[in-house]
Each structure stands twice: as C-alpha cells, then as structure tokens.
A and B are shown apart, each in its own frame.
Chain A
Amino acid sequence: MADPLLEVRDLKVHFPTEDGVVKAVDGVSFRLEPGETLGVVGESGSGKSVAFLTVMGLIHRKSARVEGEVIFDGRNLLALPEDEMRHVRGNKIGMVFQDPMTSLHPYYRVGSQIAEAIRTHRDVNKDDARKQVIEMLRRVGMPRPEDRAKAYPHEFSGGMRQRAMIAMGLALNPALLIADEPTTALDVTVQAQILELIGRLQQEFNVGVVLITHDLGVVADVSKKVMVMYGGKAVEMGTRDEIFRQPLHPYTWGLLDSIPTVDKRVERLVPIKGAPPSLINRPTGCSFHPRCPHRFEPCDKDIPELKDRGGGHPDACHLSIEDKRRLWSEREQQRARAAS
C-alpha cells in the first residue's frame, strides 16, 4: 500500500490552565490516503478543530503540551522547527476557516491577499502572481474574476468570500486541504454550492481533504471516510457507508437520530440527552457514558479503546457486536414507525 498522505499517531493536545489541564485532544490516530476525503464530525469541544490546528502548527507551542506524531511527507510535523513548518503551511497544506468575513483582512484587496500566499512560497513577480490569482478565482467559480480580485472582502457575499478563501487554500496546489467548518457560517443553499465546489476541486486538484464539521449532512455528501470525535477522542471511524448504514457507537446513533428530516413527518426532534463533557474533569471510563442510554457495567470504569470489535470498522464502545447490531436496527425501526 502506498504511503498515506497524513498519518496521525496518538495525538494529544493538553492545555494547562488555572482550573486544571484541558485535554482538548486525548489520543487521536488516523490515516488519510492521497486524494481521499476525510470527514471529521463532532460537537463543539470534541477537539476536532484543535487537532487540525495542531497539525498545521497553529496552536501556540508555549501554551499547549503536544504529544504524539503527525507524519506528513515523510516527516513528523510536530518535531519540525518553525521556519520549516512555515514552508509547509499554505504550500503543502492549505487551510480554509469557518467565517470568511473575519478570516480575510478587511484592509487589503482579496486578490492581493491570495497573491501574497503565492509569492510567499514561489518566486513569482507581481504580474504573474496576479494572473495566477485570477485563474484560481475562475476555477472556484467566481464570476468576473478580474474585477473580483481588485475588490475588498466587505464587497463580497458570504459564499463568494468562502470561494475566495478556498482559492487561497488551493492556490499553491497543496497535497492536503483542511477545511474547518467551511459551510457553517453560510446559508443552506450556499452550503450546498460550496460543498459541491470542494468535491469538484478535490478531483481536479487530486488533493486530500479533511472536512471538519458538526453537521452529518455535510459529511454524507463529500466524504469517503468519516471519523466521529467526542470528548477529545475518536469514537468511531469508517467509510461513509459503514457509518451511515451500520454505525457502531451510541454517540453516532444519537447524531444520526437527531438529524431532522424534511421528507417525513416527525413529531419531535430527538436530541442526545445531557451536555458535552468537561475537558478538565472527564468522566471516568468512557467519556460518553453519562449520556449513554445503553451504558452498563464496565462503562464508567474502563476506557474503551478504538478498535475493530467485529463490526468491520473501529469503534470505542464496550457493547458486544450483537448488542450493537440489535440496538441499531431497533432504532431504525423506531424511526420508520415514528415517521409514518
């Protein structure tokens, strides 16, 4: 098998604070192959953003304790000195952030901000950079890119701004693009456009994509692999079909159940009871057990490891595989009944 594009081994990111150590990421491991899309799903506080900010080296080294390895391009990014990491950022790994309005500098024209990214890593004169910028804007579907390049961020709509950010992330043809909640700040219809754009560009550029989101619907569209995160750990990992058809963790069940559907009549929304766990005083054993309707004897004592327990893909739940299959089909039947 070819080398993975990105391999993360037992990544831990802990923030010592006055109130205690915040274990934002507590032992996450995964692989991403070249040209693949990984959807990372979790609620706020699950550690999904912090994990990938750490991959990019954007977590302040002095305020965090980082352990583990992030292997990219044959090197452990966590061990790289800062000036070498700067060659990677923007160049080999591009990043797109959640709110494009605040993520673009309000005083500089959009075109020049993208050109700045290009000229930081390539020896290109201003004119050539400008041409590349216009071409990039064209590829992300920006109408009249020559005019748009000269405009300021506040003159764009939300969707346009995000397209510009994606253009900036892909301008140097990186091998990996990390998109941290790229559609959260956008209208639903624009969301669909941006997701379709990301999917198309992923094929055109043959770039690996990490799509971080709290919205399973987003993941269903674009991702091939899905990683579900909870309380700083990955609790389930599989292909999109596996996760949606045969999920193996009660948290994933809760997420899937809570998706509102438009095409069926449903009386009430089904949330997951309880609140996300404190990252300072984590529950003993499995972090999800206080909220889990299926918890039993070992759940508050032993931390369940993420591994394949006979379900075909790894999960972190003590329930037996037979129980998991049964409980899931029960839920599916219940949903079908409630909707009729």
Chain B
Amino acid sequence: MGQYLIRRSLFMILVLFLVSVLTFLIFMKLPSGDPARMMGGQRTNAEDLQEIRENLGLDQPFWVQYGRFAKGMIPWPGLWLDEQIYYSYSNNVAIKEEIYPRLPYTFALAMGAAVIWLAIGIPVGIISAIKRRSFADRTSMIFALIGVSAPVFWLAYLFLYLFWFKLGIAPPSGIPSDEGVVQAMVTGRFVMPWIVLSLAFAAFYSRMTRGNLIETMGEDYIRTARAKGLSERKVIFKHGLRSALTPVVTMFGMDLGILFGGVFITETVFNIPGLGQYAVRAIGNNDIPAVMTVVTLAAAFIVVLNLIVDVMYAVLDPRVRYR
C-alpha cells in the first residue's frame, strides 16, 4: 500500500509539472504578440510595459521565465501565486488577494450541493435498482433524465423566477457584501444555488448507482451470500453496495475537484462571489494573468483530488493495492 501511495504521488507531481508546462506555453509563449502587452491588459504605457517585462523575465532565458511561472504553483508561503507573475495589472492587485476571499464561497457552494446530490442520488439509485421496473423506478429514472438534460442556467433562472419573483419565498440572487459565507448560508442565500447545482449531479449519480447495483447483484458472490443464509438486506447493503459504490466514490472525488476550480454558471446566474464568477469576468475582460491563475488553480485542485480518489480506491478495493 505504501508503494502504491508513493507511486501515485510521484505521478501526481508529474501531471502537475506537465500542466504547468502546458499552461505556461499556452498563456505566455504561444500567442503572437508581445506577452508583456497581453499581461498588461489595460496598462499600455511604456514604463508599465517595461516593468512587466522585467517581472516576467522576458529578456531572460526560457527556463528562467518558466521557473518564475512554475514556482507560483508550489504551495509554500512566499512562493505560492507570487506577485511577480500572478498580478493583475488591470486591477492593480495581486491575484491571490482577489481570489482568497472568493474561495470559501465556491467551496461552500460545491460542498453543500455535494451533500444534497449524494443524499438524493444514491438512495434513489438504490431503490430503483432493488425495485427494478416498478413505478418508483420508472418515475425516478424519468426525473433523472430531465435533471441531466436541463441546462443549469435555465434551471437557475426558472427557480429564481418561480421561488423569488413569483412566490417570494427565496432570497434574490447575490450576496450582500456585509454577509460572510457562513451568514449567507444561514440567511438561505445558498439554498437555491445548492438545489440547482445538485440536480444534474443527483440525476447522474442515481442512474450510476442504479446501473452499478443492478450489475453487482448479478455477480456470483451475491449468490454465495444468499446461499449462506444472509438476510436480503445484508446481501444488498453489505455485499452488493460495497462493490457498486466504489466507482461512485471515485467519481465523486473527481466531480468535487472540478467544482472547486469554479462553479462557473451557477455562480454567475446567482451572483455569488466565488472563483467561478471571477473566472468568467476575467475571461470577459481579457485579464490574462487572472485567467492563467484560475486555470492553474483548477488544475491543481483536480490533480490533488485525483490523488485522494486513488487512495480511496485502494482503501475500498484490496485488489488495487498490489499493482
């Protein structure tokens, strides 16, 4: 198991390295034109451009430039997202200062939705699998199809219209600047965003759980469990679910990792000051350093969560530990 962990960790570092090289090339080297001008955004006077050139090290060799870029990805105080590269010249502020206060909102949105989609999706999937072709199964799969197909932005506006505008039972979109994350959760500003975000995932997870459980229940070891005289409940939950949920756990880690990088649509529609909203604005404003930072951050989240998922898989499936 230890060997497995070391191997996966090394692999993670390799992937991060590749991601950093790719990001560096895409943002700093591939576009035609002056990188300094591109990073500078709205500041175009000669002095500023010169300052930018020095910061980026454009007169220095290639690996120096890459080095400055890459060291911002090392999660160490002083190195992490350092201002030499990761600086928004448009807004005249270090990007990490813009991002840090936004992270809790994105995390709160992602985690809250995750709790809901697991709490709905998995039980619905289990019931559908156990009572296959029953009325409950067919209706929940229809809802699942709707949930997966309905676009988030459409659902979001629909919810806002119905529950805030027409019925007045939900708060409007946006979070007033005097409310912190926790307060916002208490006043219910996250409720609709959570529901809207979780619906598609809940639908997907219920279908996946159902499919996995149906397949698992056809395995030989389920027949053995019944032949031992176990109660049907034990057969389903201890033997069947244990196998069926392992892929769901790994999928969950990946989904969380992706969401941590920014819940773009939901944050934008509901006007939540998270990482996703920041990214959408930065892209719209052509704020290259900001976009670059968000990309790097999102990649880092995914890679780290991927490692956690790998470890979880080894914990759950003993066959994996010895590869």
Contacts and interface: CB of A to CB of B under 8 A. Distances in A.
Interface string B198-231: 0000000000000000000001110111111111
A285 interface: no
Contact of A154 (B228, B229, B319): B319
Contact of B229 (A106, A107, A121, A165): A121
Contacts of B319: 106, 152, 154
Between B221, B228, B239, the greatest number of chain A beta carbons within 10 A of the residue's beta carbon is seen for B228
Nearest to A53: B223
A117 interface: yes
A10 interface: no
Interface residues of B, number: 20
A60 B323 CA distance: 38
Interface stretch (A71-79, A94-102, A205-213, A315-323): A94-102
Interface in B242-262: 242-243
Contacts of A87: 229
B227 A90 contact: yes
A149 interface: no
Contacts of A168: 224, 228
Contacts of B225: 105
B316 A90 contact: no
A152 B317 CA distance: 10
B229 A58 contact: no
A88 B228 CA distance: 9
B242 to A, nearest CB: 6
B2 interface: no
Given A86-B229, A121-B229, A154 B224 contact: no
A91 interface: yes
Which range contains the number of A residues in contact with the other chain? 20 to 34
B228 A104 contact: no
B223 A154 contact: no
Contacts of B229: 86-91, 117, 120-121
Given A105-B239, A152-B319, A90 B223 contact: no
Nearest to A102: B220
Contacts of A106: 221, 243, 317-319
Contact of B219 (A56, A58, A102, A121): A102
A2 B227 CA distance: 28
B227 A56 contact: yes
B227 A58 contact: yes
Nearest to A94: B227
Interface in A106-145: 106-107, 116-117, 120-121
Given A120-B228, A152-B318, A107 B219 contact: no
Contacts of A94: 227
Given A105-B239, A107-B243, A89 B221 contact: no
Contacts of A90: 227-230
A44 interface: no
Contacts of A120: 228-230, 234
Contact of A117 (B221, B228, B318): B228
Contact of A99 (B220, B234, B239, B243): B220
A126 to B, nearest CB: 15
A58 B226 contact: yes
A154 B219 contact: no
A58 B223 contact: yes
Contacts of B316: 107
B230 A103 contact: no
B139 to A, nearest CB: 21
Contact of A102 (B221, B231, B242, B318): B221
A104 B228 CA distance: 12
Given A86-B229, A121-B229, A168-B228, A103 B221 contact: yes
Contact of B224 (A88, A103, A121): A103
16 contacts: A87-B229, A89-B226, A89-B228, A97-B224, A102-B219, A102-B220, A102-B221, A105-B221, A105-B225, A105-B239, A105-B242, A106-B243, A107-B243, A152-B319, A154-B319, A168-B224
Q: Which 3 A-B pairs have the closest CB atoms?
A: A90-B229, A90-B228, A89-B229
Given A97-B224, A152-B319, 8 more contacts: A56-B227, A58-B223, A97-B227, A99-B220, A102-B220, A105-B224, A105-B243, A107-B318
